[in-house]
Chain A
Amino acid sequence: MSYCPNTPAEQEEMLAAIGVKSIDDLFAPIPPHLRARSFDLPPGMSEFEMLAKMTALAGANAQGLTCFVGGGAYDHLIPTAVDHLANRAEFYTAYTPYQPECSQGTLQALFEYQTAICRLTGMEVSNASLYDGGTALAEAAIMSLRVTGRSRLIVDGCVNPFHRQVLATYLEDIDVEIVTVAPKDATSDRAALLAALDDRSAALILQTPNFFGTVEDLTELSAAAHARGALVVASTYPVALGMLATPAAMGADIAVGDGQSLGNPLSFGGPAFGYIATVKKYIRNLPGRIIGETVDRQGRRGYVLTLQAREQHIKRHKATSNICSNQSLCALRGLIFLSLLGKEGLAEMARLNRNKAEYAKGVLARIPGVSVVGSGPTFNEFVISLPRTAGPVVEKLLARGVAAGVPLGEYYPGMENCLVVTVTEKRSRDEIELLARELEVAL
């Protein structure tokens, strides 16, 4: 089914208007020696057949796992109204709002999104979204290089390892030194981070809650970085910002993170969105699209894409980033989610997450041989140590339908016995107790 509407008769009329005999004549500019040598694909199918095939594929995934896995993607509830509104065709079949008069819906929504991100993070300006948390971290790092004119990045090893890998990939071919400071006891090694900071450092890159779930106070580190003339990039988990001190309050210059937890399904890792926000003085260094408020000819309030002279379609190789398409629809989902939860709702959701995680921590710590790693406070994730290698234990539980957590040995050599357990508001007390029972049996 190709969704091409024109009948043979209409096509003949069109060919006549063009003044050619056949569609093949239109492809005459392509010389024979450039023609495709193969195009070996199966025949097409109806929507019904396609959906049957996709249903079969989906069925090849394990169903109904009880999920205590995070690692940068979180199983949060999504109110039905998010799907209903974001699935309005006027949003999802529109494109970038280059023509503001017929795109005010998208433009105002993204202005409201930028506002939500500023209010969550305490920052002054936000762009209209980036791809994901990892690429947002990389863009923030590149932004810090541009702002400071320096070429050294100090990265806390407690930052999500996948995000750090994306950062390293982005900077592989640029003359930048990345210094990664290994964590200590599931917490930032503050002394080592302070020692790594110097007058050549462009940024100190931190995360709270960190990959182990530990809530870090970044205030002192931020002050030290600023004293050296470096910026502070803080990656945060937006649901946690329903409770935790904002990146701005802790001294961050650039706040970034992954927005999946705000109303976007897990969807095997994408699409969701990354956010980036900063202080007003760095607005011209932000990557990607920004929506600004203005007025029309009659003085009525309206919204437009603004400061486009930063962007690739104007500045080409001198742009602040190469990004063009962003994750607008996912950012819209984030905004709708935050609007439905509201001021009290997000705070309550954050409390629920922490309550459930603290309960799980207590229950798991009572299992003989299991202990909680690190003494710092945590939000909805924490690390436990097992009396033996975590991988095979996780594998055993997985076979029983419980995804117990992420074993840490692969990402942090020396932590082979450890796993990070995530407990969102969706996990019930019964499920937490199931995890504890299964874990005890598996050990």
Chain B
Amino acid sequence: MKLIYEQSVPGRRGVQLPACDVPEATPLPAALCRAEAATLPEMSELDVVRHFTRLSRRNFSVDTNFYPLGSCTMKYNSKGLEAAAGLMAPYHPMIPLLPGGEALAQGCLGMLHGLGTALAEITGMDEVTTQPLAGAHGEMTGMLLVAAYHRAKGNKKKYVIVPDSSHGTNPASAAMVGYEIITIPTAPYGDMDMEAFKAALSSETAAVMMTCPNTLGLFNPHVKEICDLAHGVDALVYYDGANLNAIMGKVRPGDVGFDVIHVNLHKTFGTPHGSGGPGSGPVGVKKALVPFLPSPRIVKKDDGSFAIDRDNPRSIGRTANFFGNFGVMAKAYAYILQQGKEGLIRVSEQAVLNANYIMSRLKAYYDLPYDQTCMHECVFSASRQLQHDVHAIDIAKYLIDQGYHPPTVYFPLIVKEAIMIEPTETESKATMDSFIEVMIEAAKLAETNPEVLKEAPVTMPISRLDETKAAREQKVCCIG
């Protein structure tokens, strides 16, 4: 398909701007002006509409295809949430920061405060900041809070402990805050190896980062012991909320002993993933960390009105331009309102039921390295298919031909040829049954006709792409 730049026709215009109702200004000195106009596309509105409509049809999406991408919680994004966020779209973020401006933004401030309060109750934390702009941004904010806590106490801390099953963002976020990383192997039973953990824990441990249930979809029953051991050396425990969709109403990280958490509103709380973003990663903390939360903070005053507190001398400071990805948060707030207490519990129960159903139906056909009741996702290995030279990626590409977005493959890194399936609670048994049949078909083809898998996909506008060429040539834009 042609690039938009290749469809450009000199002199064509798409949008008419308002007429200029003031005199023409004296031009700026030439040295300050660009030598020539940026070579943007020159197209009619219809050209642009048709181009992006055609592009959109080259995507799989939740609305068009089952999307069981493990670790990403690709649940249905209900349409009312979009309408709810639209109601809140036109407000300028500087207004409440102007003198007398707080009173004019009570809706926006109230929404942010309400969301923070609800997330604190859902996770068992004392206070929540809504500033972080995505999950990884929340992790980094969390690590900055950890560092601020230790600095205030005069603690000399150097290390952050992560299990080898963790998301890559965990060690990357801790490293951005200057910590060294200690990686703990996973024991045969699927949880962090406790003996290795105890050996690594020291007075120089700043924090332990855990995902619970972990990326194998397993709930670690020793998680409280890990928190207690960490607290014994004044290390803080971080909860990566990527998998919160499994445990709402069942477990609250704050009750277990976690000190800092982030939640991914674009996973658990029904906001769309937007082809890779925007997300939103609010961070919750226990009381001891509240003074360090990002500034400004949104507070509720005694008279019930909402205010912006900019006087936070111990705060880690500002982590984003304004108050976070407000539009995403409006959707998440609407989601929580609609679900309510019973709805959120039902979400987690049905997510876990769906994942266990797929796991139980496929385990005769694919190796299951950690064969136990899973939470919201299950991780298979294509090691059996590898005997026929069929890799996880081949199965993934075959699924595309059958109209399914593939599961996450090759993650977590600790499972050879990993296939990580997260159906989410919004998928019906009928959809999952069809998917299961295709997965079984793929397993059979691996034995009988592996070429079909290795050639896949053949039904898409393009076949498998040469990634080596892309990395070697580094053509990342079209020179105008």
With an 8 A cutoff between CB atoms, is A149 at the interface?
Answer: no
Segment among B52-60, B231-239, B283-291, B440-448 that sits at the interface with chain A: B52-60
For residue A46, CB closer than 8 A to chain B, the reply is yes
Listed by A's residue number, 23 A-B pairs whose Cβ atoms lie within 8 Å are A2-B342, A2-B346, A26-B349, A34-B256, A51-B84, A61-B104, A81-B49, A91-B61, A96-B276, A103-B58, A111-B478, A175-B178, A245-B32, A245-B34, A271-B280, A283-B474, A325-B136, A326-B134, A336-B48, A342-B14, A342-B42, A398-B100, A403-B95
In the assembled complex, B174 has its CB within 8 A of some CB on chain A: yes
Q: Could you say which residues of chain A place their CB within 8 Å of the CB of B462?
A: 100-101, 104, 296, 298, 300, 302
Contact among B8, B147, B328, B333 with A172 in the assembled complex (CB-CB below 8 Å) = B147
Measured in the bound complex, the distance between the Cα atoms of B89 and A345 in whole Å is: 24
Does the CB pair A58–B87 fall under 8 Å? yes
A387 and B405 alpha carbons, distance in the complex (Å): 64
In chain B between 26 and 51, which residues have their CB closer than 8 angstroms to a CB of chain A? 26, 28-29, 31-35, 37-43, 45, 48-49, 51
B144 touches A169 (CB 8 A): yes
Contact assessment for A42 and B341 in the assembled complex, using a CB-CB cutoff below 8 Å: yes
The size class of the interface chain B forms with chain A is 35 or more
Nearest 10 CB-CB pairings of A with B: A269-B322, A44-B340, A269-B93, A329-B274, A271-B278, A62-B104, A60-B107, A89-B63, A358-B25, A322-B172
Given the interface contacts A3-B76, A131-B320, does A101 sit within 8 Å of B463 by beta carbon? Answer: yes
Binary flags per residue of A69-103, CB closer than 8 Å to B gives 1, else 0: 11111010101010011011111111111111111
A90 touches B13 (CB 8 A): no
Chain B residues with CB under 8 A of A4:
346-347, 350, 425-426
CB distance from B283 to the nearest CB of A (A): 13
A296→B88 contact, CB < 8 A: no
**Interface check B337, CB cutoff 8 A:** yes
Chain B neighbourhood of A429, CB < 8 A: 21-22
Are B42 and A271 interface neighbours, CB within 8 A? no
List of A residues within 8 angstroms of B478 by Cβ = 111-112, 115
Contact B29 A377 (CB under 8 A): yes
Which of A132-140, A188-196, A224-232 is found at the contact surface with chain B? Answer: A132-140
Chain B neighbourhood of A309, CB < 8 A: 471
B387 close to chain A: CB less than 8 A: no
Instruction: Scan residues 232-252 of chain B and give those whose CB is less than 8 A from a CB of chain A.
Output: 247-252
Instruction: Add 10 more A-B contacts to A65-B95, A269-B326, A271-B326 (CB < 8 A).
Output: A18-B353, A73-B94, A77-B17, A92-B273, A119-B39, A166-B319, A266-B91, A294-B473, A345-B13, A354-B28
* A34 interface neighbour in B251, B345, B411, Cβ under 8 Å: B251
In the assembled complex, the Cα of A437 lies from the Cα of B336 at a distance in Å of: 46
A434 at the interface (CB under 8 A from B): no
Given A294-B467, A296-B466, A125 and B476 touching (CB < 8 A)? yes
A390 → chain B closest CB, angstroms: 9
Q: Is the CB of A355 within 8 A of B330?
A: no
> B459 to chain A: closest CB distance in Å?
9
Chain A residues whose CB sits within 8 angstroms of the CB of B457 once the complex forms: 101-102
Whether A85 and B52, one on each chain, are in contact in the complex, defined by CB atoms closer than 8 angstroms, is: yes
List CB contacts (< 8 Å) of B168-214 with chain A: 168-169, 171-178, 181
Are A17 and B361 in touch, CB under 8 angstroms?
A: yes
Interface centre among A104, A173, A300 (most CB of B within 10 A): A173
Does the CB pair B80–A50 fall under 8 Å? yes
Give chain B nearest CB distance to A160 CB in angstroms: 8
Q: Contact at B60–A103, with CB atoms within 8 Å?
A: yes
Known: A268-B88, A352-B20. A109 touches B339 (CB 8 A): no
- Given the known inter-chain contacts A84-B49, A328-B277, please indicate yes or no for A132 contacting B133, CB distance below 8 A: yes
In the complex, whether B303 has a CB less than 8 A from a CB of chain A is no
Contact A18 B273 (CB under 8 A): no
A432–B475 Cα distance when bound, in Å, is 46
Q: Give A348 to B19 CA distance when docked, in angstroms.
A: 10
Among A199-207, A284-292, A367-375, the one that faces the other chain is A284-292
A258 CB within 8 Å of chain B: yes
Residue B317 CB within 8 A of the other chain = yes
Residues of A within 8 A of B313 (CB): none
Q: Is B152 an interface residue (CB 8 A)?
A: no
Chain B interface mostly helix, strand, loop or mixed? loop
Question: Per a CB cutoff under 8 Å, which of B90, B111, B178, B373 touches A174?
Answer: B178
Q: Is B449 an interface residue (CB 8 A)?
A: no
Judging by beta carbons under 8 Å apart, are A266 and B341 in contact? no
- Which A161-195 residues have a C-beta within 8 angstroms of B? 162-163, 165-166, 168-170, 172-175
Is there an interface contact between B38 and A343, defined as CB atoms closer than 8 Å? Answer: yes
The answer on a CB contact under 8 Å between B35 and A249 is yes
Closest-by-CB residue of B relative to A113 is: B477
A219 contacts which chain B residues (CB < 8 A)?
Answer: 31
Which residue of A is nearest B347, CB measured? A2
Select which of A89, A267, A294, A316 is within 8 A of B466 by beta carbon: A294
Minimal beta-carbon separation of A361 from chain B (angstroms): 9
Task: Identify the closest chain A residue to B105 (Cβ).
Answer: A61
Minimum C-beta distance from B105 to chain A (A):
6
Say yes or no for B154: interface residue by CB 8 A criterion. Answer: no
Q: How many A-B contacts are there with CB distance less than 8 Å?
A: 717
Q: Is the CB of B38 within 8 A of A241?
A: yes
CB within 8 Å for A54 and B88 given contacts A126-B476, A269-B93: yes
Which residues of chain B are within 8 angstroms of A426 by Cβ–Cβ distance?
18
When chains A and B are docked, how far (Å) is the Cα of A123 from the Cα of B359?
49
CA distance A40 to B345 in the complex (A): 12
Q: Given A37-B252, A44-B340, A348-B17, A54 and B330 touching (CB < 8 A)?
A: yes
Q: Determine which of A45, A69, A116, A124 lies in contact with B92 in the assembled complex, contact meaning CB atoms within 8 Å.
A: A69
Given known contacts A304-B467, A398-B104, A425-B18, A271 and B325 CB-to-CB distance under 8 angstroms: yes
Q: Out of B61, B72, B476, which one reaches A90, CB within 8 Å?
A: B61
Task: Note all chain B residues with C-beta closer than 8 A to A111.
Answer: 3, 476-478
Q: A95-B273, A135-B133, A339-B4 known; A298 and B463 CB under 8 Å?
A: yes
The reply to whether B124 and A395 contact each other, CB–CB distance below 8 Å, is no
Most buried by B among A39, A59, A71, A249: A39
Residues of B within 8 A of A128 (CB): 276
Bound-state Cα–Cα, A17 to B64, Å: 28
Please report the C-alpha to C-alpha distance between residue A258 and residue B321 in the assembled complex, in whole angstroms.
9
Are A343 and B39 within 8 A (Cβ)? yes
Given that A61-B104, A329-B277, A329-B278 are contacting pairs, would A134 and B320 also be in contact in the complex, using a CB cutoff of 8 Å?
Answer: yes
Tell me the minimal C-beta distance from A177 to chain B in angstroms. Answer: 15
In the complex, A290 Cα to B478 Cα: how many Å?
14
- Write out the residue numbers on chain A whose beta carbons fall within 8 Å of the beta carbon of B371: none
Minimum CB–CB distance from A243 to chain B (whole Å) comes to 6
Contacts of B175 in A (CB 8 A): 317-319, 322
Q: How far is the CA of A71 from the CA of B96 in the complex (A)?
A: 13
B384 within 8 Å of A (CB atoms)? no
Q: Is the CB of B137 within 8 A of A135?
A: yes
Q: Which of B17, B72, B470 contacts A293 (CB 8 A)?
A: B470
A11 to B429, CA, bound (A): 8
Is A246's beta carbon under 8 Å from chain B?
A: yes
Find out whether the CB atom of A292 lies under 8 angstroms from the CB atom of B60. Answer: no
Contact between A65 and B104, CB atoms less than 8 A apart? yes
**A340 within 8 Å of B by Cβ?**
yes
Pick from A31, A50, A73: contact of B221, CB under 8 Å: A31
Contact of B98 among A1, A217, A407 (CB under 8 A): A407
**A323 CB-CB contact with B under 8 Å:** yes
Whole-angstrom distance between the Cβ of B240 and the nearest chain A Cβ:
12
